[in-house]
Structure 1
């Protein structure tokens, strides 16, 4: 049972790291730069860690920029103000994301500037074959290692891990929590110390300072992703372009 719990926790945080570090802070906001080689490395790393819920960095980056430009309006890809419940929001977000991914909707040039792009890999990682392969792997792991088949109820959470992280922020962090900064939108901070969402829970801070690599702002706040960013900078993997 311990190994199963460790696997779930590892998948939760590794998937979350890929989303906040690579898709969010890099692809959407360019809080730092990296070489094309490292960019391709993190593409593959994101596919491995997000698995069946892989999100294209290109499509994610574009959609998230649209979210910041039109927060809490009818043009926001995900706003609790325009959906009856979180499932309706998730479905609408999925449709918009798929339309961007497959070039079925026009996108303003300002949202595409410096967006990472690896079309051939996105097609593979986003394919039904890839997603089903990952779900089969999760299922097999639980069948062979879990102490009972009841643990299979966790497989759906593994299958939608990326969107699950997104809806926690896009729904709950626009409805509940506290604010450090007064804004013209509903963004809120979910936690004082954000161990659960790896810094993503500081959503109010982020909407005020979107390009900062450190999402923590107030005394007592701690963004667990930021020390990793500083470490990768020291290792010359990335080059920050925004002040911390």
Structure 2
């Protein structure tokens, strides 16, 4: 079974996580009428947003799910805890959902695709009655004691992300560094699923509707270069050109230069050239979503996709 039912308790919690940050953010904006945001509140918001965003992009996504680099436990733990503080679910569940997304991107089995609707891709999927089965999609991660521990203690880390801004800035610290930060982290991440499968350009041939989007690229620490990512899922760099700003890749590169991480996956120009979309194919793709008519393009994407799948499978199941 690819999915498991969501309990009533979990449904209530998910509803609260969607609506409470939204209402709190509306109140925060309203409160600006009589009280400008203080420098302390702004710092709490920016620092909290940045750490939680990097926890998702570097930790949950590029490190844990796609194995874009190897890191010691203290670095892995740091990023996974920061990811937990983003209130996007335990690391194991996040990885399982994302792996299912890549396995069925923009198809019926995709947990969050605009094929069903833009709203569904953005937030509607969170309120679905089913969730991907962790055992099926992220089984190897269940053998990782650190990942399992941080996933099992997710609630602790998530609540800590609310306690810290309250201790630093009181109720307004909690409002801006807790609720507003959570709202921004959520909707920017969700925009990768919705906006970046609907609006933007395509540099590489893929079997889905992934797009590169500059605005989301900036807001989501480089995750908006989504067509690049779907073409080369294991790449630690989502920005493939100097002008494609990718803060997550800069952090990874900095840690590598310091000798703190290793085995960083990068894609050669030769491999990129083989997957590039011609102008004709790109235009055709926009007119006929989900269809690639040119045999050469279809062969290229199938070969490239199979190579990525085999590479990731080998990384998750190393030889004895």
Q: Give the alignment's TM-score, normalised by structure 2.
A: 0.61
Superposed displacement of residue 18, structure 1: 0.9
Give how far 1:227 is off. Answer: 2.1
State the partner residue of 2:136.
Answer: 108
Query: Which residue pairs with 2:186 in the alignment?
Result: 163
Partner of residue 124, structure 1? 153
Cα distance in 2 for residues equivalent to 1:217 and 1:231: 17
Cα offset for 1:174? 0.9
Structure 1: give runs of 5+ residues left out of the alignment. Answer: none
For 2:62, the equivalent position in structure 1 comes to 25
Which of the pair has the greater relative contact order for Cα pairs under 8 Å at 6+ separation? Answer: 1
2:22 aligns to what? none
Query: Which residue, 211, 215, 223 being the options, matches 2:246?
Result: 223
Deviation string 1:17-48 (CA, Å, 9 cap, x unpaired) is 1111111001110011123343234333444x
Q: CA–CA distance in 2 between the matches of 1:43 and 1:169? A: 20
| Whole-angstrom distance in 2 between the partners of 1:125 and 1:225 | 23
Instruction: State the match for 2:123 in structure 1.
Output: 87
Conserved 8 A contact 1:193-1:223: no
Structure 1 CA distance for aligned equivalents of residues 160 and 245 of structure 2? 36
Residue 215 of structure 1, CA deviation: 0.7
- Judging changes above 3 Å, is the alpha-carbon distance between structure 1 residues 82 and 44 closer, same or farther for their aligned structure 2 residues? same
Conserved 8 A contact 2:211-2:226: yes
1:64 to 85, 93, 98: 98
Q: Give the count of matched residue pairs.
A: 226
1:162-201 to structure 2, matched below 5 A, reads 162-191=185-214, 194-201=217-224
Greater displacement, 201-210 / 114-123 = 114-123
Distance 2:212 2:125 in 1: 20
RMSD over aligned Cα atoms = 3.0
Indicate the SS of the match to 2:67: coil
In the TM superposition, what is the alpha-carbon distance from 1:212 to its structure 2 partner?
0.9
Q: Which stretch shows the higher mean deviation, 173-182 or 158-167?
A: 158-167
Name structure 2 gaps, 5 residues minimum.
Answer: 1-37, 268-320
Per the alignment, residue 36 of structure 1 pairs with 73
Deviation at residue 143 of structure 1 after TM alignment = 4.6
**Counterpart check, 1:13 vs 2:50:** yes
Higher gyration radius (CA):
2
Under a length normalisation based on structure 1, what TM-score does the superposition of the two structures give?
A: 0.77
Q: For residues 154 and 83 of structure 1, do their structure 2 counterparts lie closer, same or farther at Cα, with a shift above 3 Å needed?
A: farther
C-alpha separation in 1, matches of 2:222 and 2:118? 27
Residue deviations 1:185-216 (CA, integer Å, cap 9, x gap): 11111107933211101001100011111111
